[in-house]
Amino acid sequence: MIETGRVFAALSRGIAALAFIGFLATGAFAQTDAEQPQPAEDPAPLEEPTQDSAPIEKPVEEPVEGAIEGAIEGAIEEPLEQPLDEVQVTEPARATPPAPGMKINKDNVEQYAEYFSPGTRWMVDRGVTMLVAPYRRYEFPPLIREATEKYSVQVSIGPDGESILNQVAGIPFPVIEANDPTRAIKLMYNYESALQVDDVDVRNFDCQTGQVGTDGAPVRIERQFLIEHFRRLSFTGRLEIEPIPVLLPNKDESRFKESLYPLIEPFDLKGAGTVFVRHLDFRRHDDSWLYLPQLRRVRRLSSAQRSDALFGQDVDPDSYGGYSGNIAWMEWRVLGEKTILASMHSELMPVVWGQPPGDFMHSDLWEPREVYVLEGRTKLPQYAYSKRIIFLDREAMIVTHQDIYDHDGELWKMAFNQYKHSRKPIADAEYVAPYMRRYFVSLGMIDMQLDHVTFCSLPSHRLPTEQGWYVNFGDREGTVEDVFEVSTLISSGR
């Protein structure tokens, strides 16, 4: 007989790593309102699963280099233009930036230390090599620009200093004054709105988790997951698929709904999954349900678990996409602005991983990006972290990565995102978008204190013809409201 605690632990371990992709899978999508929430009670800890899986065979770096370096030679290096927030920045004299075509590794990283955060510096010291490419300008898609121009004039921060009022669609705060006391929270609302999509279905993606290698050894894979679908359906901020800008009726008063199911691997979690609702009223907790076929039981999950890295995984739900909790759950402040290296315009999809011991990170392009550096400190008791340091791209308004600290003020984790901007995710994609879309190629989280990592490929290498991403297709590709019902979740796992 299957032990209940062990099975739930195994499932949650899978969901934590995979849902990590799930939310992130939204690529160019998400939006919310805000006020002060009430913390929920944490569930009892569950027993750690013990079953191991054979690692997924990962592609190696050698065939990539020529293709990527060719892309560098063909790229146009443009000057950084003024981003959404039109605040002039005066920066101190800096070292010469790394040149396009240069490879940065542990042997020369000290020369370019100012272009790294503590988290990205750690991964280079542990064996990651970065191939530097020229900066490429990012522009929002036409529909977002039009909605921003139309609606942003009416948007404001509420009297409480944390809620957002009168938002319809587009970027809510395209101009923010440097001395605005609500500058940080406005930037975070811009971030959420920059991720908005009407609907998305991310198919057949995988995650692996294990110990970071040493002395040239690869990651020691402990467990792997394959997931058939992550879906999201937005009820507000819609720009492309009718009805626009809101989806009615909205019986659950939802901002958006998500589903992550069924799991295909590992075997002991086959058929498991979750459904999730984020409400219009930010004071309401998210509704989350977990289904485990082996127990024929649905479990409701607490909001307080959002900062927990569950059952051997390294990711927590609040870190999805950079930050996926309600904006008002944090006290935000702008620490400054910085130039870093980030993967905004990757060339390869599916991801091609680097060489050991840096094989938990991709071997694609890194370019200089101007970012805001924001600090978020929770208002909720018993939150796992003392603070998040978020690196927010000034043009694209998306999170390149974040460094996360424990309650002793020590660096604990680093979450990373790899992006591609294209009209189609892969060369042989069935659908071609009308404009450039943003896709997550890979993402993950590193626990620097335990030398442990979870890293994910969207889509999986094991299905080379799978385009993986189906954005704004609605009924045509099955992203309908019934998908997000608990009854549908249960049926899919049987």
**Residue 291 tokens, joined:** 């289904």
Neighbours of 353 (CB within 10 A): 25
Q: How confident is the model at residue 11 (pLDDT cuts 50, 70, 90)?
A: very low
Q: Where are the alpha helices (DSSP H) in 164-269?
A: 183-194
State the Cα–Cα distance between residues 271 and 491, nearest whole angstrom.
Answer: 9
Query: Per residue in 208-218, pLDDT tens?
Result: 999 999 999 99
Q: Is the dihedral of CA 256, 261, 265, 271 positive or negative?
A: positive
User: 4-492 domain in CATH 2.40.420.20?
Assistant: no
Tens of pLDDT, residues 60-103: 444 444 556 555 555 544 444 444 443 333 454 466 889 999 99
Structure confidence at residue 37 (pLDDT): 38
Distance CA 354, CA 195 (A): 27
Nearest to 273 by CA among 15, 1, 5, 3: 15
3-state SS class at 318: helix
**Chain segment 230-253, per-residue pLDDT in tens:** 999 999 999 999 999 999 999 999
Q: Please tell me the pTM assigned to this model.
A: 0.83
CA dist 12 and 215 (Å) reads 32
- Please state the domain extents for the chain: 4-492
User: Does the structure show a pLDDT above 50 at 40?
Assistant: no
What is the phi-psi region of residue 306: left when phi exceeds 0, alpha when psi lies from -120 to 50, beta otherwise? Answer: alpha
What mean pLDDT do residues 45-54 have?
38
The two three-digit tokens of residue 95, written as one number: 């070292």
Cα distances (angstroms) measured from residue 324 to each of 116, 227, 410, 477 = 24, 20, 23, 25
Place of tokens 């390294």: 314
CB 193 within 8 A of CB 31: yes
Q: Residue 366 pairs with which residues in a beta bridge?
A: 132
Confidence bin at 310 (pLDDT 50/70/90): low
What is the number of other CB atoms lying within 10 angstroms of the CB of residue 46? Answer: 18
DSSP-assigned states of every residue in 420-456: EEESSSSTT-S---SS-EEEEEEEEEEETTTTEEEEE
Confidence class of residue 324 from pLDDT cuts 50, 70 and 90? confident
Could you tell me what percent of the chain has a pLDDT over 70?
Answer: 80
**Is the predicted pLDDT of residue 205 greater than 50, yes or no?**
yes
391 vs 325, higher pLDDT: 391
Interstrand relation of 156-157 and 263-265 (parallel, antiparallel or unpaired)? unpaired
Q: Is 223 helix (H, G, I), strand (E, B) or coil?
A: strand
Q: Distance between CA atoms of 171 and 410, rounded to whole angstroms? A: 34
Tokens 């608990």 belong to which residue? 486
User: Which is nearest to 34 in space by CA: 208, 155, 195?
Assistant: 155
More confident residue, 294 or 23: 294
**Window from 18-22, 188-192, 222-226, 376-380 with minimum mean pLDDT:** 18-22
Rounded CA-CA distance 419/413 in Å is 20
Distance CA 211, CA 451 (A): 6
Length of the chain: 494
